[in-house]
Amino acid sequence: MMDWNNVLATRSSRMKASEIRELLKLLDQPDIISFAGGIPDPALFPAEAFKDAFSDALTTQASAALQYSVSEGYKPLRDWIAGEMGKIGIPCAAENILITSGSQQALDYLGKLMLSPKDTALVGWPTYLGALGAFNAYEPNYDRLDPKGNRAATDFAAAAEAAGGRVKFAYLSVDFANPTGETLDRAAREAVIDLADEMDIAIIEDAAYQTLRFDGEPIPPILALEIQRKGSIEACRTLYCGSFSKSLAPGLRVGWICAAHEIISRLVLMKQAADLHSSTVNQIVTHKVASTMFEPHVAKLRSTYMARRDHLLAALAREMPEGVDWTRPEGGMFVWVTLPKAMDGADLLAQSLKTERVAFVPGRAFYADGSNGNTLRLSFSCANEPQIDEGMKRLGRLIRANR
Amino acid sequence: MMDWNNVLATRSSRMKASEIRELLKLLDQPDIISFAGGIPDPALFPAEAFKDAFSDALTTQASAALQYSVSEGYKPLRDWIAGEMGKIGIPCAAENILITSGSQQALDYLGKLMLSPKDTALVGWPTYLGALGAFNAYEPNYDRLDPKGNRAATDFAAAAEAAGGRVKFAYLSVDFANPTGETLDRAAREAVIDLADEMDIAIIEDAAYQTLRFDGEPIPPILALEIQRKGSIEACRTLYCGSFSKSLAPGLRVGWICAAHEIISRLVLMKQAADLHSSTVNQIVTHKVASTMFEPHVAKLRSTYMARRDHLLAALAREMPEGVDWTRPEGGMFVWVTLPKAMDGADLLAQSLKTERVAFVPGRAFYADGSNGNTLRLSFSCANEPQIDEGMKRLGRLIRANR
């Protein structure tokens, strides 16, 4: 019998099954009202447009659509994305865009590019669970990034050195972040650039939800603010990660990295060695659908999700007992709930399985140090109004029963 | 200006642009007769079947096809693959199959799973260039695996230890290998299992061309031979990598790893962290096309490619001067040419750009140590008979001019 432990790389010890995912599997039952998912509502997918686009691609350019293609990605799609980047203050060209298999792959590649074992990544507290998962494969340490910048660069650098490596980048989800729903304000974005400039590190800007703003004033991406300071994307240290998963559909796995050409060209080599290229036909089809209907489609998503957010916030106000607090996101899919200190989100979920049958994601896993168990994430993307009303009634009851 | 070198991981120094790929870009011109590609003939893609399957998937199950899906892959496709594995002597179930984005991703994941820096991978001399590319990201050393097993396990182990790590696996492309077109005979496969058992290392069996046998007797996969010895896939150390890129189409990026469930479950976690899952719709469509027309379609590929191989071998016999040797593959896409010792394939290609305008891949890059420059790879997959006749006439002239 093979003892696989004899041949595993040291990094494999960091790849563990998520307790949450195991627990959530149990919650995938019809009588459960779920706010756990964090996935787009499939009823809103532009399915007809995709069907037509696949048919078109396989009629007019089947040989190309089914063949190997270049690692950097389909040129018309990269051109289209570069145009969209320009609209949000990031003037750039196709050579600044690498197509990835979803923005999850972008995070994996950026970790792979920069992290040697014991290096430090600065991340939010909490932060996107999937970013920690992607980076973990490269055996980093994490330090807590407060975007308001109340820790000195020298402090971060000293801590990283004591841990045996160097700070390589700051990772931030900027708009209506997963899991908190919160948006980094302009001053905080500027402060991150100041910090990164002082430390000479990269910035990974995760903009997966960027297009889903319901209200409030749009804030320029970190990369746009950095270009304002430095004149050109080629002089910038920010690596912007975008995705079609929330705006069109996640099942095609199409995302991108937008950055200085110098670093994109390195990432192209990495992608060539890792999976050659992302699906050719999916890139062609994504380009077709995006270039014909992106704006009106995303407008529809925004109005639908906004109504669900409003309904959820109203239900929370009605149903939550005193001592419970939550965020008011201006977009995206998530509300972050803070419970009284002594309560634990994971315990609450385990109880919910037996009694109230309402599902959510306990918050602890979003902290690199596993702290702050008294939190949970609610997603409003797939819930209708009666489900929200009933679900929050049950959640309120569950929390009160635990006080 | 950002100095990216300050934030790169040590592994990034191993990610370099391939000189060959740069050279081949220059050769992508209409008056050049190319045997360089190594890609399937797009005229043979089952384009109509794919078109119908996409249409069907987006009519009958659009919500699932466009949504996130599980990291291990689409269950009906995994079931179908497990059935095919059974037919070639590998009884297994869906839980033994992980869907990857092409078998290139399988190689990347297996390197990531097993290789710590300075560990040793045993590889053929020459071997698949893309395997070296994928493994390089994990900073291994390479040692030369002679499948006939004329080096002792203790010798490999001592060399790996002297290099600062341990031998983790033997990597072999088994049928009509890229680049040589050669097939590992049964005795050699058994010898590799003996060696791996003695050393307690894994075996990566790259079976990308497995379905493209034109003639000769099929030889059981290494994994099948190991199951014969040990009774069950769960007791085996072989990781079998398969692909639809050569049998159906590469542009959808669908491949798989077949192995003991214990190691597949670890790879599922790795994939979850790295890119969540391969394209949902592409897996659904691949299942549909494979389950309705795999055998007759592959039979057509075999007869077409076999005729091209026969024509190429005849042209080589007619046109090559004395002192030139080549392989006689029983399938696949490649013939490997050995030139007189003093000649160099890369020099020859550079000359060809100026004079004969015939393209091929110089052999040196397929050797982990960059040795054996007097070799080149010819692909017959995309060439028609007049191109083969004229191409070999030009190649023969070029070689004679260099003697």
Q: Looking up tokens 């008294």, which residue turns up?
A: A374
Residue in B3, B58, B130 nearest the CB of A50: B58
Residues 6-25 of B with CB under 8 A from A: 6-12, 15-17
B45, A66: Cβ pair inside 8 Å? yes
Which tokens belong to A95?
Answer: 């050579």
pLDDT band at B36 (very low <50, low <70, confident <90, very high): very high
Average pLDDT over residues B130-137: 96
Q: How far apart are CA B338 and CA B360, in angstroms?
A: 13
Number of domains in chain B: 2
Judged by DSSP in three states, A335 sits in strand
Q: Are A277 and A68 in contact (CB under 8 A)?
A: yes
B177 and B267 share a domain? Answer: yes
Per-residue CA distances from A88 to A91, A278, B336 (Å): 8, 25, 52
Residue in B4, B51, B280 nearest the CB of A55: B51
Contacts of A263 in chain B (CB under 8 A): 4
User: What does each of the 403 residues of chain A score in pLDDT, given as a tens digit?
Assistant: 788 999 999 999 888 877 666 666 766 688 999 999 889 999 999 999 999 999 999 999 999 999 999 999 999 999 999 999 999 999 999 999 999 999 999 999 999 999 999 999 999 999 999 999 999 999 999 999 987 777 899 999 999 999 999 999 999 999 999 999 999 999 999 999 999 999 999 999 999 999 999 999 999 999 999 999 999 999 999 999 999 999 999 999 999 999 999 999 999 999 999 999 999 999 999 999 999 999 999 999 999 999 999 999 999 999 999 999 999 999 999 999 999 999 999 999 999 989 999 999 999 989 999 889 999 999 999 999 999 999 999 999 999 999 8
B274, A134: Cβ pair inside 8 Å? yes
A197 and A257 share a domain? Answer: yes
B9, A113: Cβ pair inside 8 Å? yes
A311 and A289 share a domain? Answer: no
B94 and B233 share a domain? Answer: yes
Q: How far apart are CA B183 and CA B141, in angstroms?
A: 25
First to last CA, chain B: 51
Above 70 in pLDDT, residue B19? Answer: no
Closest residue in B to A106 (Cα–Cα) = B275
Residue in A16, A104, A236 nearest the CB of B2: A236
Residue in B2, B252, B263 nearest the CB of A4: B263
Closest residue in A to B58 (Cα–Cα) = A51
Quick check: is A7 in a domain? no
Q: How many CB pairs under 8 A join A and B?
A: 246
- Domain end point (choices A293, A312, A335): A293
A75 and A213 share a domain? Answer: yes
Quick check: is A2 in a domain? no
Q: How far is A38 from chain B (nearest CA, A)?
A: 10
B17, A236: Cβ pair inside 8 Å? no
Quick check: is B56 in a domain? no
Quick check: is B383 in a domain? yes
Is A139 in the B-facing interface, judged by CB distances under 8 Å? no
Contacts of A4 in chain B (CB under 8 A): 202, 262-263, 266
pLDDT digits (tens, 9 = 90+) for B250-295: 999 999 999 999 999 999 999 999 999 999 999 999 999 999 999 9
A50, B39: Cβ pair inside 8 Å? no
Quick check: is B52 in a domain? no
Is A307 in the B-facing interface, judged by CB distances under 8 Å? no
Is A110 in the B-facing interface, judged by CB distances under 8 Å? no
A67, B47: Cβ pair inside 8 Å? no
Contacts of B51 in chain A (CB under 8 A): 54-55, 58-59, 62
DSSP label of A321:
P
Contacts of B120 in chain A (CB under 8 A): none
3-state secondary structure chain B: CCCHHHCCCHHHHHCCCCHHHHHHHHCCCCCCEECCCCCCCHHHCCHHHHHHHHHHHHHHCHHHHCCCCCCCCCHHHHHHHHHHHHHCCCCCCHHHEEEECHHHHHHHHHHHHHCCCCCEEEECCCCCHHHHHHHHCCCCEEEECCCCCCCCHHHHHHHHHHCCCCEEEEEEECCCCCCCCCCCCHHHHHHHHHHHHHHCCEEEEECCCCCCECCCCCCCCHHHHHHHHHCCHHHCCEEEEEECCCCCCHHHCCEEEECCHHHHHHHHHHHHHHHCCCCHHHHHHHHHHHHHHHHHHHHHHHHHHHHHHHHHHHHHHHHCCCCCEECCCCECCEEEEECCCCCCHHHHHHHHHHCCCEECEECHHHCCCCCCCCEEEEECCCCCHHHHHHHHHHHHHHHHHCC
Percent share of chain B, pLDDT over 70? 98
What residue numbers bound the domain in which B193 lies? Answer: 64-292
Q: What are phi and psi of A240, to 5 degrees?
A: -90, 125
CATH of the domain at B242: 3.40.640.10
pLDDT digits (tens, 9 = 90+) for B202-227: 999 999 999 999 999 999 999 999 99
Residue in B4, B45, B63 nearest the CB of A63: B45
A280 and A339 share a domain? Answer: no
A322 and A216 share a domain? Answer: no
Is B106 in the A-facing interface, judged by CB distances under 8 Å? no
H or E element, residue A239:
strand A238-243
Residues 219-248 of B with CB under 8 A from A: 235-237, 245
Could you tell me if residue A132 is left (phi over 0), alpha (psi between -120 and 50 degrees) or otherwise beta?
Answer: alpha
B72 and B116 share a domain? Answer: yes
Is A288 in the B-facing interface, judged by CB distances under 8 Å? no
Is B152 in the A-facing interface, judged by CB distances under 8 Å? no
Quick check: is A168 in a domain? yes
Contacts of B105 in chain A (CB under 8 A): 274-275
Opening angle at CA A373, ends A370 and A374, nearest 5: 155
A263 and A326 share a domain? Answer: no
pLDDT band at B195 (very low <50, low <70, confident <90, very high): very high
Residue in B102, B270, B279 nearest the CB of A15: B270
Quick check: is B54 in a domain? no
B285 and B363 share a domain? Answer: no
Average pLDDT over residues B386-393: 98
**Of residues B370 and B397, more confidently modeled:** B397
- Domain end point (choices A293, A328, A348): A293
Judged by DSSP in three states, A203 sits in strand
- The residues facing B170 across adjacent strands are B122, B203
Please, which residues have CB within 8 angstroms of residue B292's CB and are 6 or more apart in sequence? B49
CATH of the domain at B358: 3.90.1150.10
Quick check: is A6 in a domain? no
Residue in B40, B114, B133 nearest the CB of A9: B114
pLDDT digits (tens, 9 = 90+) for B55-97: 999 999 999 999 999 999 999 999 999 999 999 999 999 999 9
Contacts of B66 in chain A (CB under 8 A): 42, 45, 47, 50, 249-252
pLDDT band at B30 (very low <50, low <70, confident <90, very high): confident
B188 and B262 share a domain? Answer: yes
Closest residue in A to B54 (Cα–Cα) = A54
B235, A266: Cβ pair inside 8 Å? no
Contacts of B201 in chain A (CB under 8 A): 6-7
Question: What is the pLDDT of chain B when averaged over all its residues?
Answer: 95
B281 and B338 share a domain? Answer: no
Q: How far apart are CA A245 and CA A248, in angstroms?
A: 6
